[in-house]
Chain A
Amino acid sequence: MLTSMTKTDFQKPKTVEEAVTLLKEAGDDARPISGGATLVALMNARLVQPSRLVSLSAIDELTQCTYQSDGSVRIGAMRRHRQTAFESNLKAAHQVVSGAASQIANPPVRNMGTIGGSISFADPAADYPPSLVAANAEIEIAGPEGRRRIPAEEFFLGWYETALEPGEIVTAVILPPVSESSVGQYEKLCRIAGDFALASVAVTIDFNASNTVTSLRLAVGGCGGGPIRVEAAEQALIGTKLELDAVVDAAELVVAELDPIDDVRGSAEYRLKVVPRLLQRAFNNLVETREPAQ
């Protein structure tokens, strides 16, 4: 019988490959630990009791954020929220990700939590998931079979579930190249500063010289099991100049796809009401902040 008296062993490998082996060895009850901001809280509450903890803290590769020659950015899984919030490599539409990072929890928790840990835990109200979907990010995963990459959209399966197979870990998040004219915005509504999102919206947009939207991605957080991307709404806005009518119509398409529940942060009904309003504000802010530049 597993009890809190159960012995947990602790490992701190230096390479991804070692980490994967250590996890595989120990089976289903083994867990990687990154910032610990979620996992240790769960252990403190006796909700999980891993047989083995594999710390990812000593793996150099995971702590790097690199700007690649093709313009993509590779954020190592162990990058702390605070680092990502202040990451100078994140420009234009990528700021949807730094914007999300800067709104996670509070300063000491941002010093601890990591992007790998956050997305692996996949809290439906977490800030990275919608921002990574809006940023069209890819998740790099390492497992016993080697490495693979999947789009963020396919990574989040809903309600704390991800595409990670047993023994796999997230090694990096890769943001695709973006054009300088693109913008990104993360809009979060929460009860109190530092709370998880009651609802959030993440958008990235690119425009042509005449301010017409040429590409757009949009995802909503906190309104279902995972980030919700609404392609119909994206399509409806591409080719517009984000006129109010177009935004209102698109917001309706978004609402139709949401699947919120009542929880202590707010009711499902309220989420359905407020998301279109948050979207309008996000678009409005984007349009306004762009205009002076023209």
Chain B
Amino acid sequence: MDGIDMQGVGSSPHRLEIMEKVTGSAEYIADLSRPNMLHAAITQSTVAHAKILGYDISDAMAVPGVVCVLTGEDFPDGRMGAFIKDEHAIAKDKIRYFGEPVAVVAAETEAIAREAAKRVIVKYEELPAILSPEEGLAEGAAIIHEDLDSYIKVFPAISSGNMASYTELNEGDLEAGFAEADLVVEGTYDTAPQAHLAIEPCGALADIDKQGRVTLWSANQSVFRVQANVCESLMMPMGKLRCLTPRVGGGFGNKMEPHIQPLVVRMTQATKRPVKMILNREEDFECVRARHPFKVRCKTGVKKDGTITAREVEVLLDCGAFGDDSPGVLGYSLLMSLGPYRIPNSKASGKLVYTNKLRFGAFRGFGNPQVAFAGETQLDQIAEKLGMDPLDLRQKNLIQPGDVWFGGGQVASNGLQECVDKARAASDWDNRKSRTAPKGKRRGTGVALSAHISGLLGTGAIIRVFEDGSVALNTGAVDIGQGSDTVLSQMCAEALKIPLEKVSLASPDTDGSPYNWGTTASRVTYTTGRAVVGAAAEVEKQLKEHAAQMLECSEMDLELRPGGIVGVSGSDKEVSFHQISLRAHWAAGGPIVGHHTWVFNQPTIDPKRAVCSGIPFPQVGVFSFGCLIVDTLTDEASGKTEVAEAWSAVDVGKAINPSSVEGQIVGGFVQGMGFALTEEMVWDGPKLANPTLLDYKVPTTLDTPYNIHSIIVEAAEPDGPFGAKGAGEIGLVAVPAAIANAIADAIGGHVHSLPMKPEKVLNKMLEIEDAT
């Protein structure tokens, strides 16, 4: 098979599903239908915080074509939640945010369902709405979850009143660290809520069989989390629900935990008919989830030579109405709040506070971009005070190979230095001041470094060899558009030395796929890849057992040869997978199935090193690194900033599919650029003021520079599959910080608040002009 492109690891074959995506035949949730299907729509609350006194559904039921109306009274009392089980499938007894689903209507058409949903009357007794974490913490504040104490929590949560969680990490001696410093800089930084805005809105379709078993398709990032959440909230045995996935039109975190899946399942149970519901864009904005707004107080001590001696970080997070992934985001943001630097004395602590807003949850970066914005901005402010080059200051404090992470977690591979060197060279950093700006604009260059994990929790893979010697790969990992189907298949092909086309990938199915926690935390390539490699090793072993008998030799003498062949080393004796599989199926040994499952189990905290409390996850992941340099142009008249060029160097361990890695780097950059410059969910009292694409703006081609340079660095992770680690989030983490530093370079001062919209930048420019 020499000379044949196997399209294995390190090559960039096109997406497996590319033909269906360029011809419009790819099926997403909204494209599915079942015979005799009903359409459902939600009624949303029109108050932010209230006791529900009762419902009147008679008007809704009277609309011709309406089949069923369900309210909170029709739902079981189960509660779901990734960290704190605080959320019913639908508002029950209480309303906790404006726009929360309070009723579901099923009808013969979507238009009828929507019309009827408007006619459901809910009687409320309003309670004071808590619209910020500060209000939530205030003495005498209305309590959003009266039963918080009794909720099940999956980690040692510190919670009380409206505080859902408190987390703290300490290392070294903070006071001594600040005492040692020649300069201490302190600042507060805040970030706005960002909408995920996958172009595909959330939706689900459920059908029920005569035994009462439900099959559920939905826009999701994990069929297994969907199954767990639906079953918890509806108090169903897990075996009664099968979850599947169509193609998914983008995720970014919003489709990881549940959205409307429990509502659709309950409706199919009630009507015994297939039920489909697709949220419209406004509903998707109002009741799925969004990125947490952060308030960060950051204080850093340095010596004159730039050595950082201490850092203290304190964060305040708006949780929204339900815990969702928030305790994880809080804990993770604290863990990342020192950045990729050696800081011997540090304390990071934070509070997560319930408010009457939609839940905030996982979003690409998971709290890291917010603390990176604070920490990396502050480093530039320090560099300026010390008269040091910002990159040199960072270089001086860089975490080195062999160092452990804040808290004591191991960092096995570290390509940060190479990222810094390559971005510095590619961007011609040292000559940046010679770059000029067009008339009316000010040019700035900024840098920010980042680290991010990939890992978390359990995953598995099953590989079965077909009779013809090709293989089926089944992992249960949902490809949300980032390309994991292709990458996992490439790894399988590489491990078994077969061409990519000989691997067929099974679509995730809770009935048949091994467990996969989800497509999140930049984890699929690393964790699922490891499972694939493990399962392939198992298949290889079984193939060799057969081959040894067929070729009458020792297994030790056998090798895999390209193209699906097992041969005797140093001889031309060989058998094909096809021959082996026929024997296994019909004659001896049984069909070849290899599987591997594992759970990420490297501790995050070393208790000998760090004193911590309220840590949401004991085992996080392995580390990717990045160095990002951006050039910006700020308009002198308006303060509006555009990115002119960017150089993003990212250590991904091993690029299994380099083109896909570039897609992640550039896509993450642009999403981060939106977060940095324009994106902002705005509330008008309790109501989201901009739940439409006309009012909530994301970057278009014209707002995006063409020159976003991806620089791939490969510091192999020793236990990663082929050395790989995650690439999904790292490219976004440093973006707001790097842009903030570039703007500061251009105008002479830092904006401490995201998004850095024209108004904030202009005000800063005017403030600086006034001062000079």
Chain A: residues with CB nearer than 8 A to chain B? 3-5, 45-46, 106, 189, 191-196, 198, 264-267, 269-270, 273-274, 277-278, 280-281
Picked from A4, A195, A270, A278, the residue with its CB within 8 Å of the CB of B759 is A270
Main secondary structure, interface of B, reads: loop
For window 618-639 of B, CB contacts with A under 8 Å fall at 636-639
Q: Does B138 contact A (CB under 8 A)?
A: no
Known A192-B703, A264-B682, A281-B637; judge A274-B762 contact (CB<8 A).
Answer: yes
Closest residue on chain A to residue B674 by CB atoms: A192
Complex: how many Å from CA A278 to CA B440?
11
Complex: how many Å from CA A132 to CA B638?
24
Q: Can you list 26 pairs linking A and B with CB atoms under 8 Å apart?
A: A3-B115, A4-B111, A5-B111, A5-B115, A189-B640, A191-B758, A192-B678, A192-B700, A194-B700, A195-B694, A195-B697, A196-B694, A198-B758, A264-B682, A264-B689, A266-B758, A267-B759, A269-B759, A270-B762, A273-B766, A274-B637, A274-B639, A274-B762, A277-B637, A278-B637, A280-B637
* CB–CB A191/B762 < 8 A: no
* CB–CB B638/A193 < 8 A: no
Closest residue on chain A to residue B640 by CB atoms: A189
Known A3-B115, A264-B689; judge A189-B638 contact (CB<8 A).
Answer: yes
* CB–CB A277/B700 < 8 A: no
> 8 smallest A-B Cβ distances: which pairs?
A193-B702, A192-B697, A270-B759, A277-B637, A264-B690, A264-B695, A281-B637, A193-B700
Closest residue on chain A to residue B697 by CB atoms: A192
* CB–CB A4/B703 < 8 A: no
Complex: how many Å from CA A92 to CA B55?
64
**Which A residues are in CB contact (< 8 Å) with B699?**
192
Count the A-B residue pairs with Cβ separation under 8 angstroms: how many? Answer: 63
**Which B residues are in CB contact (< 8 Å) with A191?**
678, 697, 757-758
Query: Closest CB of chain A to B684's CB: distance in Å?
Result: 9
Complex: how many Å from CA A267 to CA B695?
14
Complex: how many Å from CA A5 to CA B113?
11
Query: Closest CB of chain A to B760's CB: distance in Å?
Result: 9
- Beyond contacts A265-B695, A266-B757: 8 other A-B pairs, Cβ-Cβ < 8 A, are A4-B114, A5-B115, A45-B282, A106-B700, A193-B702, A195-B697, A270-B759, A278-B637
Main secondary structure, interface of A, reads: loop
**Which A residues are in CB contact (< 8 Å) with B637?**
274, 277-278, 280-281
Closest residue on chain B to residue A196 by CB atoms: B694
Chain B positions 700 through 721: 1 when the CB is less than 8 Å from some CB of chain A, otherwise 0:
1111000000000000000000
**Which B residues are in CB contact (< 8 Å) with A265?**
695
Complex: how many Å from CA A44 to CA B495?
52
* CB–CB B115/A4 < 8 A: yes
Complex: how many Å from CA A280 to CA B115?
51
Query: Closest CB of chain B to A258's CB: distance in Å?
Result: 16
* CB–CB A281/B440 < 8 A: yes
Q: Which interface class (under 10, 10 to 19, 20 to 34, 35 or more) fits B?
A: 20 to 34
**Which A residues are in CB contact (< 8 Å) with B682?**
264
Q: Does B127 contact A (CB under 8 A)?
A: no
For window 591-618 of B, CB contacts with A under 8 Å fall at none
Closest residue on chain B to residue A189 by CB atoms: B638
Picked from B63, B111, B758, the residue with its CB within 8 Å of the CB of A270 is B758
Closest residue on chain B to residue A3 by CB atoms: B115
For window 403-462 of B, CB contacts with A under 8 Å fall at 440
Q: Does B698 contact A (CB under 8 A)?
A: yes
For window 739-772 of B, CB contacts with A under 8 Å fall at 757-759, 762, 766
Complex: how many Å from CA A269 to CA B759?
9
Query: Closest CB of chain A to B283's CB: distance in Å?
Result: 12
For window 645-698 of B, CB contacts with A under 8 Å fall at 678, 682, 689-690, 694-698
Query: Closest CB of chain A to B677's CB: distance in Å?
Result: 9
Complex: how many Å from CA A264 to CA B63?
36
Closest residue on chain B to residue A278 by CB atoms: B637
Complex: how many Å from CA A4 to CA B109?
12
Known A264-B682, A280-B637; judge A193-B762 contact (CB<8 A).
Answer: no
Query: Closest CB of chain A to B577's CB: distance in Å?
Result: 51
Query: Closest CB of chain B to A126's CB: distance in Å?
Result: 13
Query: Closest CB of chain A to B116's CB: distance in Å?
Result: 10
Query: Closest CB of chain A to B743's CB: distance in Å?
Result: 16
**Which A residues are in CB contact (< 8 Å) with B114?**
4, 46
Complex: how many Å from CA A114 to CA B766?
40
Complex: how many Å from CA A273 to CA B766?
10
Query: Closest CB of chain A to B39's CB: distance in Å?
Result: 14
**Which A residues are in CB contact (< 8 Å) with B700?**
106, 192-194
**Which B residues are in CB contact (< 8 Å) with A274?**
637-639, 758, 762
Closest residue on chain B to residue A105 by CB atoms: B694
* CB–CB A278/B695 < 8 A: no
Complex: how many Å from CA A225 to CA B703?
28
Closest residue on chain A to residue B63 by CB atoms: A5
Complex: how many Å from CA A235 to CA B751?
39
**Which A residues are in CB contact (< 8 Å) with B112?**
5
For window 111-137 of B, CB contacts with A under 8 Å fall at 111-112, 114-115
**Which A residues are in CB contact (< 8 Å) with B678?**
191-192
Complex: how many Å from CA A282 to CA B286?
39
Closest residue on chain A to residue B119 by CB atoms: A3
Query: Closest CB of chain B to A291's CB: distance in Å?
Result: 14
Complex: how many Å from CA A194 to CA B700?
9
